[in-house]
Amino acid sequence: MNRDLLDFYANAPLLELGLEADRVRAAKHPHQTVTYIVDRNINYTNVCVADCGFCAFYRRPKHTEGYTLSFEQIGQKIEETKALGGVQILIQGGHNPYIPFEWYLDLLRYIKRHHPIHIHGFSPSEVDFFSQVFRMDATDVIRELKAAGLDSIPGGGGEILVQRVRDIAAPKKAGADRWLEIMELAHQAGMKTSVTMMYGLGETLAERIEHLQRVRDVQARTGGFTAFITWPLQPENTPEFSHMEKTGAVDYLRTVAISRIVLDNVPNLQSSWVTMGMKVGQLALRFGCNDFGSLMIEENVVSAANTTHRTTTEELERLIRDAGFTPARRRQDYSIIPLDHPVAA
């Protein structure tokens, strides 16, 4: 553990942390551009056997509210996304024991054939689940998903990548080492991924720093992480964490700032206005973030915990401008979409 980093995170005045993070951000993104993406989060199933104590979204098998979307329903959501100028789908779901591996491959092929769009999907926890239930090597799972049409992998399910915390919050899900191993395998297979940290699970500040340093180490080997996103636990409606107090804006800004400082080898940091609200989302742009995340057309997991902030592209761009930056719409790989592209409502 780097004592200086921990001391800086725990004790430095908020604005000093922000200033240092902003310096790292400005060195990496000197043109004062803040990007955002228009996409849609499609949760293909809410049936899950992982029982994460912080999750308000999932339903156990046989629960009357369990669902799995049909290919046609997913196709329709993609068409709606495209009509609004969306350039990718984020497709994630529960660990559903009733879905065969062929279903996932067929789904990816179906999307690429009938509704072509960038597919950002299947977090390392899902890849690990597939590897276990289909008795396949994770390398083969990734290779087959990629061959069927998967373009990149989201950093969902990372929470805190320290085993002590995972044993409490998500004991049935991919462990810390395995989660990072799958990311590394994906990078080796030529796929880019994002990476996340969800804090507020009762971890120490030292454990948050450990999470960041582990991500930094993988990035130093592979260079495969395009972006880092952090947000706090949304405790409402969760099975085991509803008694926890929601952490506040100051903790969020300090955490964003220290993330920017530690992860100086990860190019982009996203602000999480969906969980923190617009004003804190704007402030985060002065605490290390260079991306305003996603204008998400649908988000089921955070909204299941009663935390949903919605907006339009116009509003999003105004917020970015008011914070002193130039807004630009981007693709998954952070390339900029020219202004004459149709604008989403």
Binding site for ligand SF4 (CB under 6 A): 48, 50-52, 55, 57-58, 94-95, 125, 170, 173
Q: Which is nearer to ligand SF4, 97 or 324 (CB)?
A: 97
Q: How far is the CB of 94 from ligand SF4 (least distance, A)?
A: 4
Nearer Cβ to ligand SF4 (59/109): 59
Q: In the complex with ligand SF4, which residue's Cβ is closer, 196 or 311? A: 196
Query: Within a 13 Å sphere around the CA of 125, how many CA atoms are in the beta-carbon half?
Result: 26
Task: Tell me how far, at minimum, the Cβ of 91 lies from ligand SF4, in Å.
Answer: 13
First vs last C-alpha separation in the chain: 47
Nearest approach, Cβ of residue 340 and ligand SF4 (Å): 39
Phi, psi of 40 (to 5 degrees): -135, 135
Q: Tell me how far, at minimum, the Cβ of 307 lies from ligand SF4, in Å.
A: 15
Classify residue 238 by its DSSP letter.
-
Q: Are strands 33-43 and 326-329 parallel, antiparallel or unpaired?
A: parallel
Q: How many CB atoms lie within 10 A of CB 264?
A: 13
Residue 343 is classified by DSSP as P
Cβ nearer to ligand SF4, comparing 61 with 116: 61
Taking alpha carbons only, the member of 300, 309, 257, 255 closest to residue 278 is 309
Considering the complex, what minimum distance in angstroms separates the CB of residue 169 from ligand SF4? 9
Contact in structure between 288 and 259 (CB atoms under 8 Å): yes
CB of 125 to ligand SF4, least distance (A): 6
Gap between the Cα atoms of 98 and 324, Å rounded: 49
Q: Nearest approach, Cβ of 106 to ligand SF4 (angstroms)?
A: 22
Our CB check for ligand SF4 shows the closer of 21 and 198 to be 198
Per-residue CA distances from 260 to 115, 211, 285, 326 (Å) = 36, 13, 11, 20
Between 57 and 252, CB nearer to ligand SF4: 57
331 to each of 86, 177, 268, 269, how far by Cα in Å?
9, 30, 13, 15
Name the residue among 341, 337, 344 with its Cα closest to residue 84.
344
| Residue closer to ligand SF4, measured from CB, 95 or 118 | 95
